[in-house]
Structures are given as structure tokens and as C-alpha cells.
Amino acid sequence: MTSTKSLSDPGLQGHYAGIVSRLLAFLVDLVLISLGFTLFGHVLDYVVSAVRGQPFALSDHPAAADLILAVWAFAYAVFPLARAGRTVGMALLGLKAVRRDGSELDGRHAFIRVLVFPLSFAVACLGFVMILVTRERRALHDVIANTTVVYAWDAYAAKLRFLSKSPAPPDRAGATQPPASP
């Protein structure tokens, strides 16, 4: 169950994510999709070969392989986005997809975002150039799905926690004492 808490500004969760962090997250997801598909392909080859008693290779059936890959990539992206607002790559890079108004991403918006994602690649990746030129750093698929990507960690709070751990005052000789452990 996702939170229905709505934020008036996505900036409250963090700044809009830039193209480099989004690209790195996409590359991580691409590697994981490829690894998952490769593993599944080997398992499928083994199981079908064992059941049929004849050698089977998914690579001999490119249409079926393409369809399975497309379904796997779609499921890999939609389910975590709908559930948590991020894929594994996005989580590793501290990114989160939210609705444009800052509220949590729901299943419908996640579905639309992933479905129209290939449009951002159309015409020489111009859909991604929008990340560089728009204030909210939204790609074409974000505009269509009414979503945006923000940094999800609370950097300001982390900085405050780090700053609050100040060293102990110096003793009478001028040396600082290590802070007492709680």
C-alpha cells in the first residue's frame, strides 16, 4: 500500500534529478534486465530440453525471445514503480518517480510512464533532451505520464545529523576528548 500523502511541491522530497543520475540508473536497470533475461533463457532452455528430450534454444526463436524480453522489461519497470516509485537502479542512485504534484506514483501512472518510455528514444532521443532544457527536468515520457523524477534522499537532514555530531570540547590541556558513546 502506497502513501496517499500529497506534497505541494516535488522539491520537498528533493531536487529534480538530472540527466547523469537518471542515465546511470537506467544503465543499472538495463544490466539487471539483461541478466534476468539471460538467466531465464538458460533455465527455459534447460527445462524445455528436459521435457521434450530434444535440445532447445530460445535463441533459435527470435520472435518469442523478443516478446519474452519485452514482457520481462515491462514487468521489471512497472511493478517496482507502482509499488515504491523506483526501480532497482533508481533506488541505488537515490531517485524516485513521483507524480508532477509530488504525490506518490500509482499503478496507472507507472503503467503509462513505462508504456510511453520508448517514445523518448524516438527521433534521435529528443525526448531525453527535454531533461536538459526544462526547469523540472522531465523527459517526454514524464510529460505524457504527468510524472517527474526527484532525488529521494533527505540530504539536508543527513547534513544536519552529520553536523550535530560535533567533537567534544577540549580538556584543560587543550586536547579534544573523543565523544562519549551512548
Q: For residue range 122-181, what is the model confidence (pLDDT) as tens digits?
A: 888 899 999 999 999 999 999 999 999 999 876 555 555 555 555 555 555 555 555 555
Residues above pLDDT 70, as percent of the chain? 76
Q: Residue 148 is inside which H or E element, if any? A: strand 147-151
Q: Which amino acid is at 113?
A: R
**Taking a C-beta distance cutoff of 8 angstroms, is the pair 150, 15 a contact?**
yes
At 152 the pLDDT is 87
What is the DSSP annotation of 45-107? Answer: HHHHHHHHSS---GGG-HHHHHHHHHHHHHHHHHHHHHHHS--HHHHHTTEEEEETTSPBP-H
Q: For position 102, what pLDDT does the model report?
A: 87
* Residues 49-54, mean pLDDT to the nearest whole number: 95
CB neighbour class for 24 (10 Å; exposed up to 12, middle 13-18, buried from 19): middle
What's the chain's average pLDDT? 84
| Confidence band for 12, pLDDT divided at 50, 70 and 90 | very low
* pTM (predicted TM-score): 0.75
pLDDT, tens digit, 9 for 90 and up, residues 102-119: 899 999 999 999 999 999
Cell numbers linked to 124: 534521435
At 130, the amino acid letter reads M
Query: CA 103 to CA 98: how far, in whole Å?
Result: 6
pLDDT score recorded for residue 9: 45
